[in-house]
Structure 1
Amino acid sequence: MILLSDPRVSGIPVRDCGEPLAEIAADPAVVLSHQERDPAGAYGRARTGVLRRLRSASRSLPDGIRFLVVEGHRGSAEQARRFARHEDRLRRSGITDPVELRRRTSAFVSPVEVAPHCAGAALDLTLIDADGTELDMGGAVNAHRTGDERSCPLDAPGLPDAARDHRRLLARALRGAGFVNYPTEWWHWSYGDRYWALISAAGSAMYGPV
């Protein structure tokens, strides 16, 4: 498993294509949650190319199923704050080796210099039915915050059959549109950032911090 702290990720060059951020809520096929709302509204934006691919992925979902986007773009200051907070939580749990601390922290919060959300390239999302009810995914988005780290990996063991099927549906739609998953978080998918470039062998990232 390649984590975002891996030097191979930071070693990917960025050739930003200059695409602007766009409003996620402008797409009627997608629902935007207010769970991670920030004062500037950054959470509700992503690069136009990312949203174009999200629309493509939406068209492959069964009738009555839609994406619920929890968070898109995230500012660098907020990313750094979340990284420091999670790092401190792990330090207080007894992890003191700096290398291991950084590695464990990056399993759930990216180092700011390579963060896909800061590039407008990442979406945290799940699935909802026609009534707006979230499908059973075997664990909540950002479940690591409440200590449920076991359910967070996309291929987490021991999931109920329904949750496993829903994760497969999510993955099939997003992968079909070109997204890559961060394997420690079933809800995190990105396109065009450094992690995407490494996993997809693209050679360089399309999107840098914005």
Structure 2
Amino acid sequence: MILLSDPQVADVPVRDCGEPLVEIASAPAIALDPRERDEEGAYGRVRAGVLDRLCAASEKLPDGIGFLVVEGHRSSAEQARRFALYEDRLRGSGITEAAELRRRASAFVSPVEVAPHCAGAALDLTLVDDDGVELDMGGAVNGHRTGDEKYCPMDAPGLTDRARRNRALLARAMGDAGFVNYPTEWWHWSYGDRYWALMTKAGSAPYGPA
């Protein structure tokens, strides 16, 4: 498994295409959840091409099922704050070596210099029914914050058949639209960032920090 702290990710060149951030709420088919709302409203924005692909993915979902986006863009300052907080949590568990702290933290919070959210390239999202009720995904979005790490990986053991089917549905729709999953977080998908470029062998990333 390649983590975001891997030097291969940082080695991917960025050739930003200049595409703007756009409002996720401008897409009627996509629901936006307020739980990660920030003062600037950045959480509700992504690059235009990312939103186009998300809309295309939503059209592939079965009737009665839709996307609920929890977070899109994130500022570099906020990313750095979250990374530091998670490192502090790991220190509290007895991990003190700097390289190991960085590696462990990057399983759930990206180092700021390669963070897909900071590029406007990432989406944290889940599936909901027609009533807006979240489907059983076998664990919550951002479950690592509540000590639920074991169910965060896409292929986590111990999931029910229903949760596996729902994760497979999410993966199929997002994958067919060109997104890649960060395998430690079933809810995190990105397009156009350095991690995406490495995993797809694109050669360079069209989206850098926005």
Q: What is the TM-score when the length of structure 1 is the normalising length?
A: 1.00
Deviations 1:60-84 (A, max 9, x none): 0000100000000000000000000
Extract unaligned runs of 5+ from structure 2. Answer: none
Size of the aligned set, in residue pairs, is 210
1:204 deviates by 0.3
1:155 deviates by 0.5
Q: SS where residue 80 of structure 2 aligns?
A: helix
Q: 1:31: which partner in 2?
A: 31
Q: SS where residue 88 of structure 2 aligns?
A: helix
Give the Cα separation in 2 of the matches to 1:159 and 1:140. 12
Q: 1:188: which partner in 2?
A: 188
Q: 2:12: which partner in 1?
A: 12
Q: 1:115: which partner in 2?
A: 115
1:97 deviates by 1.1
Give the Cα separation in 1 of the matches to 2:136 and 2:28. 23
Give the Cα separation in 2 of the matches to 1:174 and 1:54. 7
Q: 2:130: which partner in 1?
A: 130
Q: 2:55: which partner in 1?
A: 55
Q: Which amino acid aligns with 2:173?
A: A
Deviations 1:30-84 (A, max 9, x none): 0000010000000000000000000110000000100000000000000000000
Give the Cα separation in 2 of the matches to 1:57 and 1:155. 21
Give the Cα separation in 1 of the matches to 2:87 and 2:75. 18
Q: SS where residue 171 of structure 1 aligns?
A: helix
Give the Cα separation in 2 of the matches to 1:169 and 1:29. 17
Q: SS where residue 12 of structure 1 aligns?
A: coil
Q: 2:174: which partner in 1?
A: 174
Q: Which amino acid aligns with 1:54?
A: L
1:141 aligns with 2:141: yes
Extract unaligned runs of 5+ from structure 1. Answer: none
Q: 2:42: which partner in 1?
A: 42
Give the Cα separation in 1 of the matches to 2:166 and 2:29. 18
Give the Cα separation in 2 of the matches to 1:132 and 1:194. 32
Give the Cα separation in 1 of the matches to 2:97 and 2:203. 32
Give the Cα separation in 1 of the matches to 2:66 and 2:17. 29
Once the two structures are aligned, what percentage of the paired residues are identical? 76
1:137 deviates by 0.1
1:3 aligns with 2:38: no
Give the Cα separation in 2 of the matches to 1:124 and 1:207. 17
Q: 1:103: which partner in 2?
A: 103
Q: 1:202: which partner in 2?
A: 202
Q: 1:156: which partner in 2?
A: 156
Give the Cα separation in 1 of the matches to 2:116 and 2:42. 14
Q: SS where residue 36 of structure 2 aligns?
A: coil
Deviations 1:77-123 (A, max 9, x none): 00000000000110111001111110000000000000000000000
Q: What is the TM-score when the length of structure 2 is the normalising length?
A: 1.00
Q: SS where residue 205 of structure 1 aligns?
A: coil
